[in-house]
Amino acid sequence: MINEDRLAQTFIELVKIDSVSKEEAEVCAHIQPVLADLGAQIMIDGAGEKVGGDCGNLIARFSGNRKCEPLMLSAHMDTVEPGRGIKPIFADGVFTSDGTTILGADDKSAVAIILETLRVVEENDLPCGPIDVVLTVCEEIGLLGARHLDFSKIRAKYGYALDATDTEGIVVRAPSANRIELTVHGRDAHAGAAPERGINAIAIAGRAIAGLTLGRLDIETTCNIGIIKGGLAHNIVPSYATISGEARSHDEDKLAAVTERMVAAFEAARDAFTVPGDPDPPRLDVNVQRDFTRTHIADDHPAVVLAQRAAKQLGRPMKSKITGGGADANIFFEKGIVTGVLGTGMRDMHTVRENVRLADMVHCAELLLEILRLHAVG
């Protein structure tokens, strides 16, 4: 029942519209009339103003034709850079960009799939319960749209976000994450004439980082230093260095311990460069913020059971999966909306090699259509 040609054309239209984070207004305007023509009540919340963007989250309510609990379907409208002037290429059943930009399958393959599924429901008057479609902004820069979503407009207590690769899996566990921002303050001096008068902030940071174990710490836990900046010129002892890192874990106690160890390494490095009696010793500013909180969906939750039943009806497997990544689903879960993450087939996201097979998008749309049917008929 899925119209493959229409699905492909919808996807092409979407990826041709620039929508890097904070600039989603044009793609949102393109999507709204499609949803309205399908009978949705359209709302745009105030998240755009809160995040400094040009558009809020798009919320579309469908009343459905069956009495049952509302179901949420979600995707995000924004893309990463380089994401301007995308020229999609379709060859041998696979969408790619021309190699100079990302493709935007993350997450416009999901938007196209949701729109095609709803079109099929409407055209064929298929059984369908109430649906809340939530298309967020600024997912790629810290889940900002979901963080500022007007949850008073969402009726559903569970549903699905389409924002993964595997079309035969549902993500039921994702980690908590802490973002760790550190600023090391040293003391500037001429690097050739009087280096002994300076305190090298980059050297302090380097000592701290050298003492850390980064990467995968165990099956549940990772940590990373992702950005380091500092100094003014090659001939000035750098007076500052800023470092941005993170820690993630499915276990809150492990997350706290790793975060503490990362901060302690910088404190120890600062102390190692401190000379007793120095009136201007090195200093350290630390800012630890919760990026997102873990999700853990029980195997017998309706969101999992419904997806597995739908896959079984289609003669396909549906594996429960664990991920190390975060998504809008983490924020929804924290707010009381249990959200499994389904895959659209997109691969090599955030690179110029990003691609997605049309067959995988059809696969996902068929699954979503069966989920809606089973949800409506019970």
Catalytic residues: 78, 139
C-alpha span between 107 and 307 (Å, rounded): 20
Q: SS3 of 123, please?
A: helix
Q: Is 143 helix (H, G, I), strand (E, B) or coil?
A: coil
Give the dihedral sign, CA 325/331/332/335. positive
Terminal Cα-to-Cα distance of the chain (whole angstroms): 21
Nearest to 342 by CA among 376, 370, 315, 374: 370
Contact call for residues 111 and 77 (beta carbons, < 8 A): yes
Q: Where are the alpha helices (DSSP H) in the chain?
A: 4-15, 25-37, 47-51, 105-124, 144-147, 201-210, 252-272, 302-313, 328-334, 358-377
> CA 259, 260, 266, 269: dihedral to nearest 10 degrees?
-140
Structure-token match 């995707």, residue found: 75
